[in-house]
Structure 1
Amino acid sequence: MLSGKKYFCITLNIQRFFIELAYDGTAYHGWQTQPNAITVQQELDRALTVFFRQPVETLGCGRTDAGVHASKFFAHADLQNVTEEAAANAVGSVNSLLPYPIAIKRIFKVSETAHARFDATARSYEYHFHFHKDPFKLNRSWLYKGKLDIEAMNIAAAQLLNYTDFTSFSKSNTSTATNNCKITEAYFREIDGGLIFTISANRFLRNMVRAIVGTLILIGKKEISLAQLEEIIGSKNRSNAGQSVPACGLYLVNVIYPFVN
């Protein structure tokens, strides 16, 4: 016998969205949420949760360290009962909930299996130097005092494309299955009052770019030779490479996906 009670079934329409954002990492302990520190992911998840009125947990295309910046960063999140149009139109409102150093550029629908980290086919970083004190570059570029042989540094940077194992430039005791990376470009270019190092690869190890720059500077200072650089790479020993340069000059500038324009 039916009791006369009415039952309603609510269908949850879950869609996956990519979020493109940029941030000044000066005030943050990197991208990834940590229990006792303020991070970019923590602020983003909070703002999305408040606006969409549902718990939102993002997953980023990588993890930047404390003080590192990103001009192009991607994360993905699964949202319930949010249309593609509503997500796209939410950018301004979510930005109003975020601290000023973090800005969403767009939110767009992707397939349910799209993954911000594992589907990326290439990433690019820049490292910025300036040679004279400039208050407008504080925390956004590294003030370097000294002479550098840029030509020698570029010759050495080009040699990186001949290697795949970059253990010598990786932070120790990481959980990565392999330290192999395919670098597709690495070069320095001079700008007014400074220098920018650009490097692109299919993947990067933790601390890899800052360690590479620190080692290439030794080439520029004529403290090591090209042959010694090759020995450092072959040693697969982080202690043989140069010191990591400060985080303030490092930017993630591009992430490539086969399905994102």
Structure 2
Amino acid sequence: MPEGHALHRLARRQQRFFGGQRVRVTSPQGRFAREAADLDGLVFRRAEAWGKHLIHRYTEQNVGPVDAGPMVHVHLGIYGAFSEEPTPMGAPTGEVRMRIEGDETGSDLRGPAACELYSPADLDALIGRLGPDPLRDDADPDRAWRAISRSRRAIGSLLMDQKVIAGIGNIYRAEVLFRVGVDPYRPGTRISRDEFDAIWADLLHLMPIGMRRGLIHVVRPEDDHGAPAYAVDRPRTYVYRRAGEPCRLCGTTIVWREMEGRNLFWCPGCQS
């Protein structure tokens, strides 16, 4: 499932392609046909992300408040993805839930966990159940700190809980905890405010890099040597998918364990 930086990058990309344009919206697959008909011919005003959720805003005209018209909520889930091609677009390939065609670019959405019309109340409910998103200017880290400091759950679990911090996935969870030297099994009640501030500050540093580059970069330049990345098309990591290999800093063997159904990686030497 894409982490939050990928959704913010996608929102910026779609804003560049479609923002301010009167667009054609269809549902070749048919599962979004009624909703697409309501959107077809409207102006695509804004694309924005809240954690791992994408919101499209439409209005009748390219003037006035952007919250005056219909919205589309997209959650990509594990299998969802957008593809792009120049307009005019060719015949749809595969199960295309939603197709958006702008002046020069079109985009097909396939396999999302959710693609639905949203009301303002729906959006308020979504925002209300999400924790602060480090990539949003309106994020309030104190909300996350209160949730963590009052919980006996492991910090590795809390960071993956979208109600605590929105947008964090498996890679950022593992790598940030390594970079700040925190054991992923330590309860939230035993995380100090200084440690939480270091985690939040590191997210504020790393996630914009991922958003700009399209890949998660976490290894500091002085540590970027020795063992290669876990895959040929991915940047190096400290612990993620490096179980059984020596730590880049202390040489201790990186370990793996399952935590609440997700793969967890950490260094027992550096994360005590």
Question: Where on the TM-score scale, by shorter chain, does this alignment land: which range?
Answer: 0.3 to 0.5
Larger gyration radius, structure 1 or structure 2:
1
TM-score of the aligned structures, taking structure 1 as reference length: 0.34
| Structure holding more strand per residue | 1
TM-score of the aligned structures, taking structure 2 as reference length: 0.33
Which structure exhibits the higher relative contact order, with contacts defined as CA atoms closer than 8 Å and separated by 6 or more residues?
A: 1
